[in-house]
Chains A and B, each alone.
Chain A
């Protein structure tokens, strides 16, 4: 997933409140990744599944870094 693909994907989600709400409700990471990949396919974005998992993991690490022990 290129940086521009990420930004286009983010813009896509930011611009669609219903889509964002639907993605937010998804608590299962596997299902979330499938939805993102489907979304990308629909909008002609090249996004490998692994790239979405990587984004989730990076987000998790960034959040954990804020955690006070």
Chain B
């Protein structure tokens, strides 16, 4: 569906940073990106750099979603692939590995995509949401440098719950789902709190009201979020090739995920990924040390009980019978 609103001003140097809901419908908030590149580990880090420019703070732009659609019109950009994940399972290693390539734009956890997917308004149909999502993704992809022929989007973990909208928006774009032993994931979440597992994110991540989310013991709530994500993946009926276990990394990046996205790696590129994977993806000042056994040993009884509830999901994800 095309957008029949005329474009306003010149937005060629601007990217959407947020989509908010107003009485008049969704509003898109823009920052000028200028010479800044989308080369940070996470999209929000680049936005934070752009926020250091007073022009963006004083004269950041705002449009309706229809105007954003008009600006996106004519762009026939399609992502190479989407990375979905269970959280704490190597997804940042995967996105950063693709970002090592000069020919690939990687956008990790873009806020505007989350805004469109999780906007709480029952009157918005999946079809409309998918249309808005296409516009936002295409607008973000305009930040590509000329030599970047591929674009990979790493989404937030809870976006698996919105797969029907994602696949409606981009039916031909491949996606993968990264997973890990839920006990190890849960121990990681218990040790380091995140917005993902906060009650504030419960409507998006668990389909729960904040007031209901806070009634759950922490481990049980986190397990419920993970189970919801795994259930959503199972409902999407992915092929075996789309499911990647944490313990298949980093090899699966060039052997499975890259080829699925149409991105082949040379021996030199594989060597670069291997070298990069030797360091912690989120704290690259530290070398990477396998911590699965340590995490399992750290699990308390309540965490073990919570993880046991997700065990059937994990078995399904690892099932060799998946085609």
Contact = CB atoms under 8 A, between A and B. Distances in A.
Interface of A: 9-10, 13-14, 17, 20-21, 23-29, 32-33, 36, 52, 55-60, 62-63, 66-69
A20 to B, nearest CB: 7
A24 B57 contact: no
B34 interface: yes
Contacts of A60: 51, 57
Contact of B18 (A13, A58, A66): A66
Contacts of B111: 66, 68
Main SS at interface, chain A: helix
Nearest to B17: A66
A49 to B, nearest CB: 12
B34 A24 contact: yes
Main SS at interface, chain B: mixed
A13 B53 CA distance: 15
B104 interface: no
A26 B195 contact: no
A36 B59 CA distance: 11
Contacts of A36: 58
A59 B9 contact: no
A27 B52 contact: yes
Contacts of A68: 44, 111, 195, 201
A7 B86 CA distance: 45
Contacts of B55: 13, 20, 23-24, 26, 32
Contact of A26 (B44, B51, B54): B54
Contacts of B59: 9-10, 13, 23, 55, 59
A43 B54 CA distance: 21
A69 B195 contact: yes
A27 B58 CA distance: 12
Contacts of A69: 195, 198
B239 to A, nearest CB: 32
Nearest to B34: A24
Contact of A63 (B10, B13, B57, B198): B57
Given A21-B34, A24-B34, A55 B58 contact: yes
B10 A17 contact: yes
A16 B235 CA distance: 51
Given A14-B9, A36-B58, A66-B111, A24 B53 contact: yes
